[in-house]
A and B are shown apart, each in its own frame.
Chain A
Amino acid sequence: MFKNFISLEWKQFRRASYFQKGLAIKILMAFVVLYFGGMALLFGGGVFFIAKKAIPEVDPIETINKFLIFWFLFDLLFRYFMQQLPVMNVKPLMVIPIKRSTVIHYLLGKTSISFFNILPLFIFIPFSIVLLFHGYAVLNVLGWFVSVVAITLCLNFTNFLVNKNNAVFYSILTILVAFVGLEYYNIFKVSEPIGNAFNFLYNNPYIALLPIAILVLLYKTTFNFIKKGFYLDDAVSKKVKQVNATDLSWMNRFGSVAPFIKNDVKLIWRNARPKQVMMMSFMFLFYGLFFFTQETYKEIPALLAFASMFITGGFLISFGQLVPSWDSEYYKMLMSQNIPYQQYLESKWYLMVFAVIISFILATPYIYFGWDIYAMIAAGAIFNVGLNSFITLFGGALNRVPIELNVKAKAFSNTNGFNPVQLLISLPKIFLPMILFYIPYKLIGFNAGLITIALSGVLGIVFRKYIFNFIVNVYKKGKYKTIAAFSEKN
């Protein structure tokens, strides 16, 4: 039976539309996979030496053990965001004489070989090998490795159980933030007791049976959980929630753009995918921390200009690059209505501007790194509003990928981001602020660089009518192509 399932999945995979895309994308995808795999391998192999160098007086395995708790919490969060539960196309199977338990075992087995469980292997296998080469006892390393893998799989099934539950997600997030905070300010180091527990586990390999036992238990729980829900009523047919229609009529003050803005706000609020994009764009706010905390980057202010642009540009970039794909589900209807493209685009632009302003306000704490940095973030925000927004919208117009609004994006299973056009368009987003800053900075000085970035944004705002016109023409030219691409179901 499993063989049949696998052949079905293989067909689904091979015949999916994204697989039939050009060779260039396949090669690019292969590179991305190789890159992440390679990075993980390098990290796994190198982390022993990093730990040894950072804290020479402590055994590296103990240092690693201390940080495992953060790894696992992060893993769980990441899964919640990205891991798509493998809801197999189960409807046609329900009427066929296959044992229910067979299908469920298969489903659960399939989740175990997801990207999220394989990536840790790429890290922990080389790490264990390095340990063995350094003369750590085979049995202990093996016990430790098995435990880590078992815990990873436990997280896998935990995610299965709690995935629909936002409360769980926010509690995990709170716990993670609290732990990191307490750790950072030396109030309570959660890493110590957990680290000790893992040390104990390392020294007593038979304890590895404990995580395995938990894994078995979780597997059984998940199995029963699914088995209970394996009826058309609740498993396959969607849950229908009561809707609280929000009154957005106050938005009518936006004039002719109002109908679109009202719609776009609902689009973001009521669909899984745009919500995911919104949450992810908060992460961009922290981008500056990578750069501003490192002395080395202070020497290369052009890179800081890039980072500053990113801080306020998270939503702008991730949402904007998928305009008009957000409306792909009903694009035919829009095209048969009397839609003024300009207002349609302006609405999206206002949303992006609004997001930049919010991000800029949230970025206030960056003043801590000095007014220079803050001025740079401000300049980046103006650049985003006036220029980056238009580059992104232009790129979106060429990016004809249909989106399923109410389905979360899967990690590495859609090629949405890996469109060659998209890649080309993203180059100016990255390099333009750097160049705009660097040339006047070299010729005149730091402030001249900032002013140039900001000025480019102001120019964009001043000439936005022309720019909108230009993008509208791209829309008009690509109309049939866009409709055809959007009606192609994934």
Chain B
Amino acid sequence: MITTSNLTKTYNEVTVLNIENLEIPKGQSFGLVGNNGAGKTTYFSLLLDLIEPTTGAIKSNGVLVNESEDWKPFTSAFIDESFLIGYLTAEEYFYFIGELRGQNKEDVDALLAQFEDFFHDEILNKKKYLRDLSKGNQKKAGIVAALIGNPEVIILDEPFANLDPTTQIRLKGIIKDLAQTKGVTVLVSSHDLMHVTDVCERIVVLEKGEIVKDLATNPETLKELEAHFSGVAEV
């Protein structure tokens, strides 16, 4: 589904990302972990063609993302608050995204109805602009907006940060469901090792832009990751 080959990104002669080869099959829930500056967001930005690769390329569903725009209809993402339009209410934002993704109002309403639990009555009908919501609630709105229009690839950068525990648990359910039953490829980055091992079938550890571990999740994975990161701390 997503093939990364010889991908590097260099800023002022500092290489921040260097991935020789990475294959993510369709329907996988894929977790990306690493300390600050490891290159997680850089990788996601390259996936969304928001920055230009220095060398190499990413192919998504056969489409070279930095050459064609045909990946856009089946890809969606929530990276940070800059994906929200602050002066819209949550509903207006959802409908706008819906219109961009060829969904009418009823389609969007039907989707939103499934997330009533997740919203916890803090998003819809609040008569507030998105810019006036709390960080956590903004995130909820952004994540759900990324699910509009039946995308086949969903990219979420740090989705668990800023969320309350109840919402974190619900979000884990949503992500698992997407990958396991709907065949959606979900890419998630996180600093929270526990969440990411809970939710992802596969976990890749980035360190200074390079892949240092590529694990299929099993009951031992969390321990292994913890050992790895405490090791990093001791060095």
Contact = CB atoms under 8 A, between A and B. Distances in A.
B129 to A, nearest CB: 6
A336 B50 contact: yes
Interface stretch (A326-334, A381-389, A466-474): A326-334
A259 B73 contact: no
A259 B88 CA distance: 13
B199 interface: no
A467 B91 CA distance: 35
B177 interface: no
B227 interface: no
A462 interface: no
Interface string B96-113: 110111000000000000
Given A332-B82, A406-B131, A270 B96 contact: no
A333 B127 CA distance: 23
Contact of B52 (A245, A266, A338, A480): A480
A28 to B, nearest CB: 28
Contacts of A331: 82
A338 B72 contact: yes
Contacts of A329: 82, 85-86
A329 B96 CA distance: 16
A336 B48 contact: yes
Contacts of A172: none
Contact of B86 (A259, A405, A480, A484): A405
A399 B83 CA distance: 21
A335 interface: yes
A267 B132 contact: no
Interface stretch (A236-244, A291-299, A415-423): A236-244
B2 to A, nearest CB: 15
Q: How large is the interface on B (under 10, 10 to 19, 20 to 34, 35 or more residues)?
A: 20 to 34
A267 B92 CA distance: 12
Contact of B100 (A242, A271, A337): A337
A332 B73 contact: no
A244 B83 contact: no
B87 interface: yes
Contacts of B96: 259, 262-263
Nearest to A268: B87
B87 A270 contact: yes
A267 B87 CA distance: 7
A338 B88 contact: no
A476 to B, nearest CB: 9
Nearest to A335: B50
Interface in A335-360: 335-339
A483 B83 CA distance: 12
Interface string A224-266: 0000000000000010111111000000000000110011001
Interface string B148-165: 000000000000000000
A330 B82 contact: yes
Interface in B130-185: 131-132
Contacts of B131: 406
B77 A240 contact: no
B60 interface: no
Q: How large is the interface on A (under 10, 10 to 19, 20 to 34, 35 or more residues)?
A: 20 to 34
A332 B85 contact: no
Nearest to A242: B127
B103 to A, nearest CB: 11
Contacts of B88: 263, 266
B50 A245 contact: no
Contacts of A335: 48-50
B8 to A, nearest CB: 16
Contacts of A483: 50-51
B69 interface: yes
B179 to A, nearest CB: 20
Contacts, number: 82
A309 to B, nearest CB: 31
B84 interface: yes
Interface string A296-337: 000000000000000000000000000000000111110111
Given A338-B100, A483-B51, A240 B87 contact: no
A487 interface: yes
B29 interface: no
Nearest to A274: B87
B100 A339 contact: yes
A338 B101 contact: yes
Nearest to B77: A336
B82 A245 contact: no
B84 A330 contact: yes
Nearest to A238: B132
B75 A336 contact: yes
Contacts of B92: 245, 266
B150 to A, nearest CB: 13
B100 A480 contact: no
B137 to A, nearest CB: 12
B59 interface: no
B101 A330 contact: no
Interface in B26-60: 48-52
B50 A240 contact: no
Nearest to A486: B82
B191 interface: no
Interface string B64-77: 00000100110111
User: Which of B50, B89, B99 has the most CB atoms of chain A within a 10 A radius of its CB?
Assistant: B50
B87 A271 contact: yes
A242 B82 CA distance: 23
B143 to A, nearest CB: 13
Interface of A: 238, 240-245, 258-259, 262-263, 266-267, 270-271, 329-333, 335-339, 405-406, 480, 483-484, 487
18 contacts: A238-B132, A240-B128, A242-B128, A245-B127, A270-B129, A271-B87, A329-B82, A332-B79, A333-B83, A335-B49, A335-B50, A336-B72, A337-B72, A337-B100, A338-B101, A406-B86, A406-B131, A480-B51
Given A330-B84, A330-B86, A332-B82, 10 more contacts: A243-B89, A244-B127, A245-B127, A259-B100, A266-B88, A333-B82, A336-B76, A337-B72, A337-B97, A337-B101
3 nearest interchain CB pairs? A333-B83, A259-B99, A338-B72
